[in-house]
Amino acid sequence: MSHLNFVSKWVLEVFNDQFEKTFVVIGNHDYYLISNSQKRKYKNSSIYRAEEMAEIIEDLSNVIFFHSVYGTGALKYNGKVFAEITMKSLPKTEEEKSFYQIIMNDSKYITSTPEVYNTFDLTSYNYLSDLNIDVFISHYPLIRTYSHNKHLNDGSLGSYLCEVNEMAAPINLLGNVHEKDQLYEVVGTKHYTNTLGYPNENLRSIIRELKCK
């Protein structure tokens, strides 16, 4: 949501007042420590930003925080079981590792290696597979998207995709890739993305409603 937790708090306070229920899963920018003051505040550990977000959201009655370490894993709401995890990507090949270290801002602003966050998330995800999840929400995609297919030869895939052995839910909502109103159907599962993107991308995305039968 933001590089600063107090900004995310302002946004969620508005959502808390406007919506019956808001589900939150954080992305890579919510782990960023972009200044020396932030590094001091969070003891140079990005995971403490997530811990603080969990504490902030405790005071918001209509907001649920999903996280593999500090938050809820799954929740039944209106007869459907929802689950959310960041699903941090993991660069594996030498090309992917090089892309992460040289190109990605994540390597500059997120402390600890991608392996740490990916392990947390995959451990939680594998547990959720046994809970009959109806809708799974993640920041990182679990499948290749149009954006990925444009960059398959530059090592970026390992920084934008989280690989899983099997899908835990028939319906999946994803972020991270800046694509407007897209649906991908993969092996009997549906994957929706409708991100706002950066202002200069001019995606003109609008809030859309998805009804689960």
User: Cα dist. 63→6, 28, 129 in Å?
Assistant: 15, 20, 24
3-state secondary structure of 188: coil
H or E stretch covering 193: strand 189-193
Tens digits of per-residue pLDDT, 4-59? Answer: 999 999 999 999 999 999 999 999 999 999 999 999 999 999 999 999 999 999 99
| Global pTM value | 0.93
Answer for the pair 15, 63: CB distance below 8 angstroms, yes or no: yes
DSSP of 15-77, one letter per residue? HHHH-S-EEEE--GGGG---SHHHHHHTTT-THHHHHHHHHHHTT-TTEEEE-TTTSBSEEEE
User: Cα dist. 100→51, 106, 142, 191 in Å?
Assistant: 25, 8, 18, 25
H or E stretch covering 102: helix 94-102
Residue 2 burial (CB < 10 Å; 0-12/13-18/19+)?
Answer: middle
Tens digits of per-residue pLDDT, 68-122? Answer: 999 988 999 999 999 999 999 999 999 889 989 998 999 999 999 999 999 999 9
Q: Counting every residue, how long is the chain?
A: 213
Answer for the pair 73, 55: CB distance below 8 angstroms, yes or no: no
- State the pLDDT at residue 75: 94
